[in-house]
A and B are shown apart, each in its own frame.
Chain A
């Protein structure tokens, strides 16, 4: 017992208990208040998901046009490209010429992809 009281962690345990009490006592009081005075009245309309006054219609699983995916893929490619470009630009002066050539080839491949998509008419919105 004396060991326990001497333990340096005792104060920590007390603090945790205090923190728990600080959080739980108001919650318990609120629950008690609701039980004694203010009854909960759930209802179908009250518990409805959508809260803009309108009734929700249809399914959340809406089908999107397939062109959105092509746009998304092209966007993603160039998004990744900028992530690679930034460190390349920062350390540009320290890089050997081979790294520069490699980066240009990487960019060329991406631009080639863009030209191909352009040719296919992906960027033209119908």
Chain B
């Protein structure tokens, strides 16, 4: 802890911990910011805040500088690939059946176009709380893959954004040095995307299983066509 904070009684600082409260605070501080609360249904319950591109840097700067939050540390910046998918939602409906009203569950299928996400896990070293999770979403997976970079706000995100660019192909606008970090510069693919096709360059174990059975049959080592 910095010496300037030594005289502050930590227990006297009101903790703003739930994402709902943080959302309200951000909307009060950054006018026009469009925030969506993304609920996490699993027991960990780590809900996150989806931020729009135009206000992302302002929101990030508020989260870092706000005396009650002081989220000064990005532990983790991850990319997520959401391919095109069919989303099924169950809706309960009252249907007239044989003269009686019966409740019937109906499944509605909707096509959701894919996108990429950059997820930031923020902690506060000064106030010792976290994580607060920010999400930035690209428009699609092919040509509009840009999100604003948060490296100007948190310097620690620099290499992790480079990694997300390398492995997912997310372009970070405003990043000071956006190059590949793990793969070589001549590489053109983004290996962590769901539709990445890896080079077929290894022989298979004698007892292939799952997806490998079909692949192993095609392999030249087994006499098949590569």
Give yes or no for direct A-B contact (beta carbon below 8 Å): no
A residues adjacent to B (C-beta < 8 A): none
